[in-house]
Amino acid sequence: MKPLLRLAAFFALTLIAGTRVVSATEYPLPPENSRLIGENSIYVVPSDNRSLERIAADYKIGLLSMLQANPGTDPWLPRAGSQLTIPTQMLLPDTKREGIVINLAELRLYYYPKGENKVIVYPIGIGQLGANTPVMVTSISQKIPNPTWTPTVNIRKRYAERGITLPGTVPAGPDNPMGLFALRLAHGAGHYLIHGTNANFGIGMRVSSGCIRLRNEDIEALFNHVPRGTRVEVINQPLKYAIEPDGKRYVEVHQPLSKSESDDPQTKKIALSNTMHEFINSPHSDTQLIEQAITRRSGMPVLVNSGEPIDQHTPLPAIIQQQQGAVPSGRQPATISQAQGERVVR
């Protein structure tokens, strides 16, 4: 994730006001023995000079997720006419389906509304190096509309090292780094919050001082629906896997969180649990496909059943034809034809 920090200054200067940002993605909750939700789609980049961040915002995706799904894409100016995968298929985290679950490694927040058979997924920004967001099980202790921001001693120190002197308190309003809504966590002294932002470029990146940052439309929706006392679990699962009821086996691999400036998240070793070793060593799993998925780290579910053709192990996405200047409005099924063994999307 280290290279993404260098993108922050660029997006702070170049985001165009008025970009449409839609609300988070809702998915029907699968049965307890299933974890696969959603489907991927393909987006055709229009010739309107929009950045990857703008595309990510339109499709409710974090910036890192877009870069993992589309390696080599220019984040400043994706090539017009090129196709981008919109990674909206995922595996639910391997934990309790209750309240709010935040998976730091994938930079996503999952909200399970009580009594409703659905899960709502939000892209998030989390703590930067030196200000890591901790793993925890806690709850919402306070709901704060129009929050003020009082920087802590450590935050002041980090900014001072860059020659920036912070005010004692930043008043409420659109220029407040916490946005217009905040949910305080009961963990510790209550220093960690889920809040909005005055800079959307940080969504899907490690840029905060330890809090969980959402786009403003997303935090408003979450604020209005999440009651005080809601359970919040923060986990760190860069590698997820599942065996679906139909026997299909999936792995989903994200870049692990860097622990130092020298870490390369694309090559950093990912610790494997005993159950993951059992999954890999099963005669029903294709070890080669799993190794490829761990190396690739696409952030998307990959089908890894034994005997699965290597060039057809990802689900076929829908295709979106984006017209110049238009806002995404829907998806159309892709049409597939076989031409000398190649898959062609029309």
Residue 282: predicted pLDDT: 96
Map out the domains of the chain with their CATH numbers: 25-38+89-235 (2.40.440.10), 239-303 (no CATH)
What the block records as the tokens of 129 is 């190096």
Locate tokens 């990146």: which residue? Answer: 205
Per-residue pLDDT tens listing for the chain (346 residues) = 444 444 444 343 333 333 333 446 899 999 999 999 999 999 999 999 889 989 998 998 999 999 999 999 998 899 999 999 999 999 999 999 999 999 999 999 999 999 999 999 999 999 887 778 999 999 999 999 999 888 777 778 877 888 888 877 888 887 888 899 999 999 998 989 999 988 767 787 787 878 999 999 999 999 999 999 999 999 999 999 999 999 999 999 999 998 888 999 999 999 999 999 999 999 999 999 999 999 999 999 999 999 865 444 444 445 444 433 333 333 332 322 222 222 222 2
pTM, to two decimals: 0.82
Amino acid at 30: P
Residue 24: predicted pLDDT: 61
The alpha carbon of 29 is separated from its chain's Cα centroid by a whole number of angstroms, namely 18
- Supply angle C-alpha 313, 250, 37, rounded to 5: 100
Q: What is the CB neighbour count within 10 angstroms for residue 332?
A: 10
Reference 231, options 131, 346, 96, 138; nearest CA is: 138
Residue 245 and residue 35 in contact, taking contact as beta carbons nearer than 8 Å: no
- Euclidean distance between CA atoms 143 and 239, whole angstroms: 32
Residue 135: phi and psi, rounded to 5, are -70, 135
Residue 203 and residue 24 in contact, taking contact as beta carbons nearer than 8 Å: no
For residue 166, CA distances in Å to 139, 177, 266 come to: 29, 12, 34
- DSSP β-bridge partners for residue 181: 145
Residue 308: predicted pLDDT: 66
- Supply angle C-alpha 73, 289, 315, rounded to 5: 60
Residue 26: predicted pLDDT: 94
Name the residues annotated as catalytic. Answer: 195, 211
Residue 200: predicted pLDDT: 64
